[in-house]
Amino acid sequence: MTPLRMMMAAAVVALSAVPATAEKLSLNTISQYLNKLDTAKAQFTQINDDGTISTGTIYLKRPGRARFEYNAPTDALVVAGSSQVAIFDGKSNAGPQQYPLKRTPLNLILARNVNLNQAKMVVGHKYDGTATTVLAQDPQNPDIGTIELKFTSNPTELRQWIITDNAGSKTTVILGELSKGVPLRSSLFSITVAIEDWSR
């Protein structure tokens, strides 16, 4: 997996415990859910474009902050903070690769104010009988790829996302149960602290 794909994924659910009475969620409902999601922690499973699988723990602190800690044998870390995304790859002797957060589809769910009703943001909105799927892009940067978000209802819950980068490669992130409203220290999302820890 290339660093860019890792970043885009860190950018990312088996639909367990699907409610018996599900319904299609409106874009307003999904936007409100994301805007209320201030902090969260969950286990995740990542399915890469080449079929390999990674696992780990994700930490979210909106707006603009995320951390993906990968379990062994994947030697990697992804930190989003201070409007940047830093990708640490244990196979590389160089420092982390950094990209502007706004150049990744992950920015759509980490934005301070998520509004999926923005013109040209949502390019797909469907319901399959159990989950609502929203396909979104950055209207200002449609070339960077898309993020496909999957939600269940009653209550509304984010279950999965699929990042498609500008080369057409797909990475799926399946979320375990989200622990919301958990206290998360700011240093988790500090790229400077991560660089210091990674070099030890």
Task: Determine the Cα–Cα distance for residues 99 and 121; give it in Å rounded to an integer.
Answer: 21
Q: Which residues pair with residue 40 across a beta bridge?
A: 60, 180
Tokens matching residue 51: 């079929």
State residue 21's pLDDT score.
Answer: 55
Q: What is the pLDDT of residues 22-64, one digit of tens each?
A: 689 999 999 999 999 999 999 999 999 999 999 999 999 999 9
The CATH number that applies at residue 43 is 2.50.20.10
Task: Determine the Cα–Cα distance for residues 20 and 3; give it in Å rounded to an integer.
Answer: 40
State residue 119's pLDDT score.
Answer: 87
Assess whether pLDDT exceeds 60 at residue 112.
yes
Tokens matching residue 158: 């984010």
CA distances from 47 to 109, 146, 191 (A): 20, 16, 25
Cβ contact 106:121 at 8 Å: no
Count the domains in the chain.
1
pTM, entire model: 0.86
State residue 7's pLDDT score.
Answer: 47
State residue 146's pLDDT score.
Answer: 95
Report the chain's C-alpha Rg in angstroms: 16
Q: How confident is the model at residue 4 (pLDDT cuts 50, 70, 90)?
A: very low
Task: Determine the Cα–Cα distance for residues 135 and 117; give it in Å rounded to an integer.
Answer: 12
Domain containing residue 178: 3-198
Q: Count of residues for the chain?
A: 200
